[in-house]
Amino acid sequence: MKKSLFPLAMTVALAMGSAASAQTLRIGLNEDPDVLDPHRARTFVGRIVFTSLCDKLIDITPELKFVPQLATEWTWTDPKTLTFKLRPGVKFHDGEPLNAAAVKANIDRARTLPDSLRKSELGSVESVEAVDDMTVALKLSRADATLLSQLSDRAGMMMSPKALASADFGQKPVCSGPYRFVERVQNDRIVLERFKDYWNAKDYNFEKVVFQPIPDTTVRLANLKAGNLDMLERLAPSDVAAVKQDSSLTFAPVSGIGYQGLTINTNNGERSKTPLGQDKRVRQALEYAIDRDVINEVVGQGIFPPAGQPFPEASPYNDKKFAAKKRDVEKAKKLLKEAGVDRVKFDLTFGTSTTTQQIAEIIQAMAAEAGFDISLRPTEFAAMQKEAQAGNFDVNVIGWSGRVDPDGNIHPFVTCKGGLNDGRYCNPEVDRLLNEARTVTDEAKRKELYDAAQTILQDELPIIYNYYQPWPFVLAKKVQGFHPYPDGMIRLKGVKFSS
């Protein structure tokens, strides 16, 4: 009798064990997130964790349209007032209710906390009013077309006001998303567990979600292949072919809303006083010297679609007439001759990463044929930012993860006082057009403004765009229902293991 019970017990134990572990989703991240406080967080991977941890007022669809999340509807009651109706019955992870007072507390904190990084995103908000228990009105100092998209990201994430009062919120975040915070071991993992009182709990299928930062792309993929992970973000392009052929993995890429390009120092200090920095013909020649298709093929293995403008192809603000130019060495040489220069020397600075290194090497080789003598200057990211701000560069290789609203992809980079305008390019007409575009909500009118700005920018070329940043996800075969979004975030609604 005893003998026959044993295998039964073993089977039950195994089944229970595997059932419990089947409920945990393990995700491999490219790096360790920083502080887990949406108002003070800076990293891309931090946003990935927040997507599961913190709900926001509105979310986006894969087509970049806005949909309700914590807010059920919103209207512009007048051009400078945005009114939200909140979803009833929503609780924070500590049981506190979501109401207008809570929303007001959150947005006020985002605007006034000394080290809040969301201040410029909410720069147009003058005051927040709790109209009634479930209605909030944001009063603006100026018309702002970008506000909705800001509230679909960290600026619109809602945290429990009670928890916000404690000083170590960043270490123990209390939020409103489908999963709640359990623990975090720096450099090792972040563990979330299912929040039972979530307003849409039925669509979320895992008991636990574990984020594991594994910076080395080879090791991260090895973990997935070996079964230690269930999915990962940012597959290295060099592994794309192998993953496609692997029947135990699913390759799930999406074209992102960000880009990778070259910033040219046109106006920041002494080093801008070069033919490249001063003469747009030289910059145009450089653009013609680069073969984006080769970069896509050799480095990107086909997943780096060429870019000629900051707006992705899925964006309504993308215009065909600004599509990426094909390589034309003859034209490049002609332009250089017109500009009266023979050979152009400059330093190409880039952060140390294998992909960027390859791109830089390719650009060096290609541009040499047209008359450019490039010296490669790989620099640590930390040092690079400071040097960029101080103007100690000729050309930087830069990447931008992208923002849903077109303003986020262009304004900070090319306006005279733009915070990310390292080259300090300054054209009052461009400023005027882009500032106006921020206030216009009508899509067609806005596009006209962006087109007009682009016409100038494509001619003066302070930035040369290379390719659109893809988000290459890889999943274990058993992971079903995952849809990659252009913003690169991992939304777990409807995702489950196949049985």
Residues 389-448 that bind another protein (CB under 8 A): 389, 400-401, 419-420
Is 141 or 186 the residue whose CB approaches another protein more closely?
A: 186
Amino acid of residue 338 = E
Rounded CA separation 158/103 (Å): 7
Closest distance of CB 88 from another protein, Å: 33
Is 59 or 121 the residue whose CB approaches another protein more closely?
A: 121
Amino acid of residue 440 = V
Which residues touch 89 (CB under 8 Å, ≥6 apart)?
199
Measured in whole angstroms, how far is the alpha carbon of residue 315 from the centre of its chain?
Answer: 15
Q: What is the total residue count of the chain?
A: 499
Closest distance of CB 407 from another protein, Å: 14
Is 209 or 282 the residue whose CB approaches another protein more closely?
A: 209
Rounded CA separation 192/230 (Å): 15
Q: Near another protein by CB under 8 A, which window of 116-124, 127-135, 247-255, 425-433?
A: 116-124
Please check whether residue 90 is in contact with residue 197, taking contact to mean a CB–CB distance below 8 angstroms: no
Closest distance of CB 230 from another protein, Å: 13
Q: Which of residues 200-239 bind another protein (CB under 8 A)?
A: 212-219, 222-223, 225-228, 236, 238-239
According to the binding rule CB under 8 A, does residue 455 interact with another protein?
no
According to the binding rule CB under 8 A, does residue 347 interact with another protein?
no
CA 50, 52, 53, 57: dihedral to nearest 10 degrees? Answer: 80
Q: Figure out which of the listed residues 188, 197, 203, 313 binds another protein, where binding follows CB under 8 A.
A: 188
According to the binding rule CB under 8 A, does residue 24 interact with another protein?
no
According to the binding rule CB under 8 A, does residue 269 interact with another protein?
no
According to the binding rule CB under 8 A, does residue 185 interact with another protein?
yes
Token output for 155? 């600026």
Closest distance of CB 248 from another protein, Å: 11
Is 33 or 305 the residue whose CB approaches another protein more closely?
A: 33
Cα radius of gyration (the chain) = 25
Q: Figure out which of the listed residues 96, 319, 347, 361 binds another protein, where binding follows CB under 8 A.
A: 361
Token output for 264? 């040219």
Instruction: Return the number of other C-beta atoms located less than 10 Å from residue 436's C-beta.
Output: 16
Q: Which of residues 458-497 bind another protein (CB under 8 A)?
A: none
Angle of helix 329-338 relative to helix 280-289, nearest 10 degrees, comes to 160
Q: Which of residues 28-67 bind another protein (CB under 8 A)?
A: 32-37, 41-44
Is 83 or 267 the residue whose CB approaches another protein more closely?
A: 267
Q: Which of residues 165-184 bind another protein (CB under 8 A)?
A: 168, 170-171
Q: Figure out which of the listed residues 80, 119, 271, 483 binds another protein, where binding follows CB under 8 A.
A: 119
Rounded alpha-carbon distances, angstroms, from residue 190 to 32, 180, 187 = 9, 11, 9
- Determine the size of the site formed for another protein (CB under 8 A): 73
Residue 154 carries which DSSP code?
A: G
According to the binding rule CB under 8 A, does residue 152 interact with another protein?
no
288-327 footprint of another protein as x/- string (CB under 8 A): ------x--xx-----------------------------
Helices and strands (DSSP H and E) totals, the chain: 16, 18
Q: Figure out which of the listed residues 57, 341, 384, 437 binds another protein, where binding follows CB under 8 A.
A: 384
* Segments of 133-224 assigned E as strands: 135-140, 179-185, 189-194, 208-213
Q: What 3-state DSSP class applies to 436? A: helix
DSSP 347-370: EEEEES-HHHHHHHHHHHHHHHHH
According to the binding rule CB under 8 A, does residue 126 interact with another protein?
no
